[in-house]
């Protein structure tokens, strides 16, 4: 198992190395944040957090968005003290720095293991530079690991940590369940099924954590993004759920195979026919990393519970992205962290099983380190991108610079196809934004079936002419669809069930009625577009 023995305090030299690694990491992510162009998913949270003049209005604005309360509260509170959009990256950086400082200062891992974690894609970019609500999950997971040995049998500190973890994001709810399962089993394996003082403390804290899960559910349900709700018309998703349990590698591709693919510019380094075998190998790696906790049976069970909980969520609700999948790695780190506390009494393995237990723990530890190493591959690329010019994450900053450089466009109304390409702009400029599919001004798109699902290029031009006539302001149009050389038109599908179509006559009319100002692209998020002004 990676790390220094928990029974021996780290020397001043070892702690100095850990703090040095943390400072190097901090310098890197600050540089990354300074060069990061925020995109719509980041700014969307800030836009929602600033809506509503009263607590009731604030809650009404975020209710049903799909994310619980905590991130919005942090952003609104920070903005109340420092009324600038810069609170978005600053709060994300502070949260990430606290999480990694807890790791460096309190974890029992050896410095190479800490270095692997700090060099990972989630630590370097996804949970630090990318300003979203997943880094706070890592902070509370690490705080749980740091506090568990001393707080397990007293008080409500751990319960409050789990309450807050449940209100970071929906994907943290299965992790709350996994940590509670670990805690309860840890007591049972020591004292048996008895109503001991330790179990009474656990029950109180479990109730607090359950209240956090309930608060999460009341905030995110029912969702107003009803177009994104999974369709179960064919019946309960039993088979996908079973497959998720048996083959999680097929649902955790971003933290395994996709990390290797990052080295090849997003292209698979193996023939397509090897995809299934690769997924099977990745499932074995995930299972192996969990089995490595076999010396602490409660931790081993909890690791599998978290893995399967997220896998089923990905299979039946929405596919996971890297930011979702990497939360399980944070859970795994915490469970290995706690398991290095050798002071707890663990059930003794039968003599004939001790050798097998040792082998499983040894090879499982190797799988755990391999999993961390895979995260360091794209993490290294993140560091390279910070010092070498590369496509930005979003082109919205370029558009904002263009508009601010043109005095005649500073009061312009901006429309876009698709609408969600507007969502990053409030971070940079105060221009009014018009959402064509919902027929309203606003800065947050609602992915609802009650919007105009089918939009044409003619509709875009008609909206632009109407807005200019009614307001007297210039109108700027953003189009992801490139019109160069198009003569036959066509139809494309976007978002969940949006469509955008154009005819040759609409293309010709659009070209006559607009002037192209710029073309921005490519971007790492796909948030690039051509920019037009209505004549």
Total residues belonging to the chain: 535
Assign 502 to helix, strand or coil.
strand
**What is the b/e burial string over 358-368, where b = at least 16 CB atoms within 10 angstroms of the residue's CB?**
eebbeebbbbb
CA-to-CA distance for 523 and 90, rounded, in angstroms? 23
Name which residue leads in pLDDT, 391 or 409: 409
Greatest CA separation for the chain: 85
Q: Which residues of 447-463 are buried (b: 16+ CB within 10 A; e: fewer)?
A: bbeebeeebbbbbbbeb
User: 109-138 pLDDT, tens per residue?
Assistant: 999 999 999 999 999 999 999 999 999 999
> What percentage of the chain carries pLDDT values higher than 70?
92
User: Angle between the 275-291 and 297-316 helix axes, to the nearest 10 degrees?
Assistant: 150
For the chain, the structural domain boundaries read 12-387, 396-534
Query: What is the 8-class DSSP label of residue 172?
Result: G
515: β partners: 533
pLDDT at 276: 78
pLDDT at 4: 44
pLDDT of residue 260: 64
Encoded tokens for 6: 């928990």
Least confident of 53-57, 148-152, 222-226: 222-226
Instruction: Centre a 10 Å sphere on the Cβ of residue 418 and count the other Cβ atoms it contains.
Output: 21
The SS3 call for residue 518 is strand
Predicted pLDDT at 7? 46
Cβ(185)–Cβ(150) under 8 Å? Answer: no
> Can you tell me the mean pLDDT for 399-422?
96
DSSP 424-477: TGGGT----EEETTTTEE-SS----TTS--EEEHHHHHHHHHHHHHHH-S-EEE
d(CA 436, CA 95): 36
The dihedral over CA atoms of 158, 159, 162, 164, expressed in degrees to the nearest 10, equals: -110
| DSSP notation for 373-415 | HHHHHHHHHHHHHHHS----SBSHHHHHHHHHH-GGGTT-EEE
CB 514 within 8 A of CB 533: yes
Mean pLDDT, the chain, as a whole number? 91
Mean pLDDT for the stretch of residues 142-152:
96
Residue 176's pLDDT band (cuts 50, 70, 90): very high
State yes or no: pLDDT of 157 exceeds 70: yes
The confidence band for 5, taking pLDDT boundaries of 50, 70 and 90, is very low
pTM of the model: 0.94
Q: Single out the residue of 465, 448, 455, 480 nearest to residue 413, CA to CA.
A: 465
517 has pLDDT over 50: yes
Residue 219 to residue 68: CA distance in whole angstroms: 5
Residue 498 DSSP class: E
What percentage of the chain has pLDDT greater than the value 90? 76
Give CA–CA dist 234/213, Å, rounded: 29
Among residues 533, 435, 432, 453, the alpha carbon closest in space to that of 495 is found at: 453
Task: Locate all alpha helices (DSSP H) within 317-346, ordered by sequence.
Answer: 322-339
pLDDT in tens, 313-371: 999 988 899 999 999 999 999 999 999 876 454 555 566 678 888 899 999 999 999 99
The predicted pLDDT at position 55 comes to 93
Q: What is the pLDDT of residues 220-271, one digit of tens each?
A: 999 888 887 777 766 678 888 998 999 998 899 888 766 666 666 555 555 5
Q: In the predicted model, what is the mean pLDDT of residues 271-283?
A: 77
How would residue 6 be classed by pLDDT, with cut points 50, 70 and 90? very low
What pLDDT does residue 266 have?
56
Whether cis (ω within 30° of 0) applies to the bond prior to 522 is: yes
> How confident is the model over 302-313, as pLDDT tens digits?
999 999 999 999
| Helices and strands (H and E) in the chain: how many | 20, 9
Which burial class, exposed, middle or buried, applies to 201 when counting CB atoms under 10 A from its CB (0-12, 13-18, 19+)? buried
Cβ atoms of 83 and 112 closer than 8 Å: no
Whether omega for the bond prior to residue 175 falls within 30 degrees of 0, making it cis, is no
- Alpha-carbon distance of 83 to 430, in angstroms, equals 14
**For helices 173-191 and 322-339, angle between their N-to-C axes, nearest 10 degrees:** 20
């Amino acid at each position: 198992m990676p790390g220094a023995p928990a029974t021996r305090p780290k020397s001043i030299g070892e702690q100095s190395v850990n703090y040095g690694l943390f400072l190097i990491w901090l310098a890197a992510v600050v540089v990354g944040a300074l060069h990061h162009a925020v995109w719509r998913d980041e700014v969307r949270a800030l836009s929602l957090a600033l809506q509503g003049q009263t607590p009731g209005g604030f809650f009404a604005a975020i209710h049903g968005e799909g994310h619980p309360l905590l991130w919005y509260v942090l952003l609104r509170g920070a903005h109340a003290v420092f009324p600038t959009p810069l609170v978005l990256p600053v709060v994300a950086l502070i949260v990430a720095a606290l999480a990694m400082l807890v790791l460096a200062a309190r974890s029992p891992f050896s410095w190479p293991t800490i270095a692997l974690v700090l060099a990972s894609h989630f630590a370097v970019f996804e949970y630090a530079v990318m300003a979203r609500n997943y880094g706070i999950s890592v902070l509370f997971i690490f705080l749980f690991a740091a506090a568990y040995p001393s707080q397990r049998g007293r008080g409500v500190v751990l319960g409050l940590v789990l309450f807050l973890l449940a209100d970071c994001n929906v994907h943290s709810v299965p992790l709350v369940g996994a940590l509670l399962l670990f805690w309860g089993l840890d007591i049972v394996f020591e004292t048996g099924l008895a109503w001991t003082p330790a179990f009474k403390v656990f029950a109180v804290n479990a109730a607090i954590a359950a209240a956090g899960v309930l608060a999460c559910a009341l905030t995110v349900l029912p969702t107003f993004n009803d177009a994104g709700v999974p369709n179960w018309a064919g019946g309960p998703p039993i088979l996908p759920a079973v497959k998720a349990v048996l083959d999680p590698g097929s649902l955790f591709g971003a933290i395994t195979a996709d990390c290797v693919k990052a080295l090849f510019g997003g292209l698979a380094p193996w023939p397509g026919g090897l995809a299934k075998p690769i997924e099977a190998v990745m499932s074995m790696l995930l299972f192996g990393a969990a089995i490595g906790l076999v010396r602490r049976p409660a931790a081993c069970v909890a690791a599998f519970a978290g893995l399967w909980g997220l896998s089923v969520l990905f299979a039946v609700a929405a596919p996971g992205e890297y930011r979702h999948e990497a939360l399980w790695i944070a859970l795994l780190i915490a469970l290995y962290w706690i398991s290095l506390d050798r002071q707890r009494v663990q059930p003794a393995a039968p003599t004939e099983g001790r050798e097998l237990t040792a082998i499983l723990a040894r090879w499982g530890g190797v799988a755990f380190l391999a999993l961390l190493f895979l995260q360091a591959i794209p993490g290294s690329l993140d560091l390279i991108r910070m010092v070498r010019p590369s496509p930005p994450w979003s082109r919205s900053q370029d558009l904002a610079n263009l508009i601010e450089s043109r005095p005649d466009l500073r009061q312009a109304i901006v429309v876009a196809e698709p609408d969600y390409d507007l969502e990053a702009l409030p971070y940079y400029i105060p221009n009014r934004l018009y959402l064509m599919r919902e027929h309203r001004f606003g800065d947050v798109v609602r992915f609802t079936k009650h919007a105009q699902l089918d939009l044409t290029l003619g509709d875009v031009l008609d909206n632009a002419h109407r807005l200019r006539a009614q307001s007297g302001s210039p109108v700027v149009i953003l189009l992801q669809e490139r019109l160069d050389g198009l003569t036959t038109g066509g139809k494309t599908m976007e978002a969940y069930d949006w469509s955008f179509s154009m005819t040759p006559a609409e293309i010709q009319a659009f070209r006559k009625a607009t002037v192209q100002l710029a073309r921005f692209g490519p971007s790492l998020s796909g948030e690039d577009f051509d920019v037009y002004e209505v004549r």
